[in-house]
Structure 1
Amino acid sequence: MTSTTAHLTTVIRHWTDLHDALGAPALHNGFGIGLRGHLAALTDIADRALTHAAERADSASDAPGERPAPLRPMILDTMTEVETALVDCADQLAAEIQRTPMSRAPRDWPAADRARRNQLADQDANDPRRWKWTGKRTAPYAALWLYARITQPGGPFAPLTDRHRETVAAVARSCAVRVERALDIAAQVRTLEQPCACGGRIDVHGGEGRQPLAHCTGCGRIWTEGGVIAA
């Protein structure tokens, strides 16, 4: 499996996970969530206060009926961005490589020849491998179609050029990264904007559902959300 097909597979495999995560609470042991929360505590408190005030203004706390679970904006944004990128990529690729369907037979052809030509034309126009600009335009379907174009030559398409493959590879990679970050399923390293007390850079290691761990590249201090574990 190439890196491009692996990235497309990541999107396909985890799309239902994104749907499930839409209404799920954020994981506090996800990558950097707790540490960033500690560093931005005042902002978070202010945001929660403003949100609470707005909710109280909109409706009474004892109002009857069920309230829908709030959607997680980060997950929703990820799904929108990934779906848009993949569908746009498929649209552009199909516009360049997808062959125009065979024309139907002229009326003056002999009946038998006309019927045979029209049958072939209908089969060509309805080839399930063709990309359609209407109807099913979801992220998993676009990823599957792009996967097939990378791995299955032939069909009603011109051969892919190196530029085509590079474009699909770039889109697939960026989409897979977005999905993995949203679901916290990839090991990551990030550098915090706030430096350590010694002035050194703080790198945060985490992801894959593990508790994040921070390391100062200056003084060597290591700590987790629970506090310093080495100095």
Structure 2
Amino acid sequence: MTTTATHLRTIALHWTDLHEAAGQPVTVGAFGLGLRGYLARLDAADRDEFNYDRNHAAHLRTQERDPLQLGERPIPVRLHILDTMRLVEAALNDTADQIASSTQRPPMPYAPASWPAADRARRNALAHADLADPRRWRWTGRRRTAPYVALWLLARVEDKGGPFRKLTGAELGQIGVVADGAAARIEQALDIAAQQRTLSTPCPDCDGAVDVHGGEGRVPVAHCTGCGRIWAESGVIAA
């Protein structure tokens, strides 16, 4: 539960950073952006992620009335940041819809007309307050912002009360998986987490496995686990 809560807080705290990063130029130290020539040849997955068709489709989506369009922004927009935001927001909203449908109790009914006036007034006041409880999840047909949903799910995980029953172990696990994936996507997009990836193509000298280390704003380096050779953007730096 503690880990899930940490992931949900990460989402809420870094959402503004994603908004700001969406219109900024790519930084040199981002993971996977150094060693361009090496990774361009060896990591097909990264090549496919930024193909023209996908970028063009994302660009067309940004022409809609998206909150990210408001105000002046540098061009071009960082499309992978926008994609991250949309994926995270969709996953969180879908999860909240499911959790609310199974854990949120219906509003208290209003008093029947046959009740005495004083009792009816008291009961109706309670029913109205229950219906208007801001902790209730409401199906409006529009997605809520990721920070709102993350904090709503956090309140459920921490059992903060309200018109809900306690989450089951399966429901806690469901939120945990989504929160973990969402936080990881955000950290990758913002380059605030250390990362390591083993390339599918072996070392050209010894056929050993090649690991790429980067993230946290550092320039990535590639390291052969067989012969120990190390590459950076400028070429071989150790052999």
* TM-score between both structures, scaled by the size of structure 1: 0.85
Counterpart CA distance in 2 for 1:175 and 1:35 is 27
**Selected match of 1:228 from 215, 228, 236:** 236
Q: Is the 8 A contact 1:23 1:72 kept in 2?
A: yes
In the alignment, does 2:76 pair up with 1:70?
yes
**Aligned residue for 2:8?**
8
Runs (5+) with no aligned partner, structure 1? 52-65
Counterpart CA distance in 1 for 2:73 and 2:216 is 31
In the alignment, does 2:205 pair up with 1:190?
no
**Selected match of 1:124 from 130, 134, 158:** 130
Runs (5+) with no aligned partner, structure 2? 56-71
Counterpart CA distance in 2 for 1:153 and 1:137 is 20
In the alignment, residue 40 of structure 2 is paired with which amino acid? Answer: A
More displaced, 100-109 or 21-30? 21-30
**Aligned ranges for residues 111-190 of structure 1 at < 5 Å?**
111-134=117-140, 137-190=144-197
> Structure 1 residue 95: deviation in Å?
0.2
> Structure 1 residue 194: deviation in Å?
2.8
| Runs of 4+ deviating beyond 3 Å | 36-39
In the alignment, does 2:89 pair up with 1:83?
yes
In the alignment, residue 2 of structure 2 is paired with which amino acid? Answer: T
Q: Is the 8 A contact 2:29 2:218 kept in 1?
A: yes
> Structure 1 residue 68: deviation in Å?
6.2
Identity %: 61
Q: Is the 8 A contact 1:32 1:206 kept in 2?
A: yes
> Structure 1 residue 157: deviation in Å?
0.4
Q: Is the 8 A contact 1:153 1:159 kept in 2?
A: no
More displaced, 151-160 or 17-26? 151-160
More displaced, 133-142 or 106-115? 133-142
Q: Is the 8 A contact 2:231 2:237 kept in 1?
A: yes
In the alignment, residue 84 of structure 2 is paired with which amino acid? Answer: T
In the alignment, does 2:224 pair up with 1:202?
no
Partner of 2:34, secondary structure, is: helix
Q: Across the two proteins, how many residue pairs are aligned to each other?
A: 212
Q: Quick one: structure 1 residues 109 and 13, their matched pair in 2 at CA, closer, same or farther if it must change by over 3 Å? A: same
